[in-house]
Structure 1
């Protein structure tokens, strides 16, 4: 299945309020400018570092992206 990182990360929405992955996914969902079709680590990482809400930390992004790679790339 060909999924973007955004589509993958949405699977974490609706989890526990204190789960950092769920918070990341919810914050990402509310970010209307998030690159929804992107699959590239470099492009997504640059967005997270330069434009994203602080609740979408680069440490959490790196963890989620590793899970994404293991499953879809």
Structure 2
């Protein structure tokens, strides 16, 4: 079974890390309306662009998405 992007992202959490993806994951864990079941790039990207003030740059999401795709193959 393929993980949702959120489920994958939760494996990247690390409160002691300065890594941008880890910080993204830490903040997404606190986001109660994050699309937690989605595996769709466009759905998640649109949500983040419109709602995630905690994400300083969409390039961080893009890097996390590439890591997600690599892990799911």
TM-score range for the pair, normalised by the shorter chain length: 0.7 to 0.9
Paired residue for 1:22?
Answer: 22
TM-score, reference length from structure 1: 0.87
**Which sections of structure 2, spanning at least 5 residues, go unmatched?**
none
Distance 1:56 1:68, change over 3 A: farther
Q: Which runs of 5+ in 1 are unaligned?
A: none
Structure 2 length normalisation: TM-score? Answer: 0.87
Match of 2:59 in 1: 59
Asked if the contact 1:8/1:68 (under 8 Å) is kept, the reply is: yes
